[in-house]
Amino acid sequence: MTSTSTMLSLASAPPTASLSVHENLKGRLKLGGGSLSFNKEKANPFINTKSFSRISMVAAVKISRFEGVTMAPPDPILGVSEAFKADNDEKKLNLGVGAYRTEELQPYVLNVVKKAENLMVERGENKEYLPIEGLAAFNKATAELLFGASNPVIKEQRVATVQGLSGTGSLRLAAAMIERYFPGAKVLISSPTWGNHKNIFNDARVPWSEYRYYDPKTVGLDFDGMIADIKAAPEGSFVLLHGCAHNPTGIDPTPEQWEKIADVIQEKNHIPFFDVAYQGFASGSLDADAGSVRLFAARGMELLVAQSYSKNLGLYAERIGAINVVCTSADAAARVKSQLKRLARPMYSNPPIHGAKIVANVVGDPTLFNEWKAEMEMMAGRIKNVRQKLYDSLTAKDKSGKDWSFILKQIGMFSFTGLNKAQSDNMTNKWHVYMTKDGRISLAGLSLAKCEYLADAIIDSFHNVS
Ligand code: KET
């Protein structure tokens, strides 16, 4: 690259012209090997970027070809962890991301995970590529864990299971399939929902709209609104449902409500699409938390289910999960699986082996499986204890008579506090409590020792900030 410090004026370049930057440099300016050309950018309708072709500037020769790339905002959830790290106050508390911590607020590696990893070392397992669909033992174990090994959908080989890059990657793969095989079909998502759902469908070019879910007045489920919106959607839409422990609200339908939701989805020929990121974490029971999915499968419906082992096995960074597509025939399932593989191959080729082996070892070994269930109950139990202590602290300290019992009705890792953005900002700026701006706190990142401090912060933010 030239080190000439000549100032260049690149004003209103013609949209499609290759730009000869300076006549007396004789030829085109070489920047990092390629010549500088400002071709009309292919527009991405979902991302608001400015076209290079309209660039107008005065710059030194060391000009970047990424000049037109704008700064992206921090992620609403993972960005909270970045801000937390940068805070030096010793009272700070990270209740942003849904990640389990011990009572000492340290990350936790499950004992069964350590044992499964030791097994892998002892066996001297290799690092060869996995097949595109992932580790066969994992795919079998994960589908059986979800549906139950004796479920007819398993027995009749009607489930297409493909290992994915955890819950997110599995949702993204399913979104790619919807885009390819159901062009124009809409995905209905709950309002509110996990923030990344919208990004996933936007990037996959899948249209989506929201159905009513949370009622701030009752701090509960807007069941009638939900049913009405699902009914009103165009026939054959996909309905995204949180299998258990709805994120961010912590409010799940009752079994009777699930039946009615299934009725409406069947009536409208919609396709249910479950996101199961917390199996075992909501109630402490793997079977109970899969109840919603199994209820739909028992009706003979076709459905999609994305699974994640980030939370229930603490495998956040291993990126292990799966997409399951239940079909009405084994033949259709085989074809769906072949197409999921076809979509995965150019995206990431094949999935990572480490987490898949851990899950297969834990689920496939009766002793480790029972130890896992005990550890999961321990984690879910710790979260329930801090939930109770937070409620007790709020009730004891808040003299206004406000009813905080909604916190006890919510389940899973989170509590949806009802704090608005300004109040959530106060939690962070004044109290060093890091949380998402929708008022969600991760109880998995809270200790019994910090409950009173958190209660003080919530009471102050709720009553003194509007
Ligand atoms: N679905 C839901 C509902 C969900 O809350 C998460 C993660 C995922 C899928 C994906 O997780 P994965 O690690 O890709 O398997 N939620 C937490 C972390 C995140 O935002 O990525 C969270 O809400 O804090």
169 CA: nearest ligand 1 atom: 14
Of 194, 208, 372, 404, which one is the catalytic site residue? Answer: 194
166 CA: nearest ligand 1 atom: 15
Pocket (CB within 6 angstroms of ligand 1): 77, 97-98, 166-168, 194, 196, 242, 247, 275, 277, 308, 310, 316, 321
Helix (H) or strand (E) holding 241: strand 238-242
Is 311 an active-site residue? yes
| Cα-to-centroid distance, 113 and ligand 1 (Å) | 20
| Cα-to-centroid distance, 308 and ligand 1 (Å) | 8
Residue identifier of the C-alpha nearest atom 15 of ligand 1: 167
Q: Residue 222: left (phi > 0), alpha (psi -120 to 50), or beta?
A: beta
- State yes or no: cis peptide before 366, omega within 30 of 0: no
436 CA: nearest ligand 1 atom: 24
301 in Cβ contact with 268 (< 8 Å): no
Closest C-alpha among 159, 142, 407 to residue 276: 142
- Map tokens 């309708």 to a residue: 45
| Cα-to-centroid distance, 77 and ligand 1 (Å) | 9
362-397 burial, b for 16+ CB within 10 Å, e for fewer?
bbebeebbebbbebbeebbebbebbbebbbebbeee
Is 275 an active-site residue? yes
445 in Cβ contact with 95 (< 8 Å): yes
- Map tokens 């949702």 to a residue: 171
Residue identifier of the C-alpha nearest atom 9 of ligand 1: 167
| Cα-to-centroid distance, 316 and ligand 1 (Å) | 9
Q: pLDDT digit of tens for each residue in the chain (466 aa)? A: 333 333 333 333 333 333 333 333 333 433 333 334 334 444 455 555 555 555 555 555 689 999 999 999 999 999 999 999 999 999 999 999 999 999 999 999 999 999 999 999 999 999 999 999 999 999 999 999 999 999 999 999 999 999 999 999 999 999 999 999 999 999 999 999 999 999 999 999 999 999 999 998 888 999 999 999 999 999 999 999 999 999 999 999 999 999 999 999 999 999 999 999 999 988 889 999 999 999 999 999 999 999 999 999 999 999 999 999 999 999 999 999 999 999 999 999 999 999 999 999 999 999 999 999 999 999 999 999 999 999 999 999 999 999 999 999 999 999 999 999 999 999 999 999 999 999 999 999 999 999 999 999 999 999 999 9
Of 275, 337, 431, 437, which one is the catalytic site residue? Answer: 275
DSSP assignment string, 44-57: -TTS----GGG--E
| Cα-to-centroid distance, 34 and ligand 1 (Å) | 40
Domains of the chain with bracketed CATH: 10-56 (no CATH), 78-108+376-464 (3.90.1150.10), 129-364 (3.40.640.10)
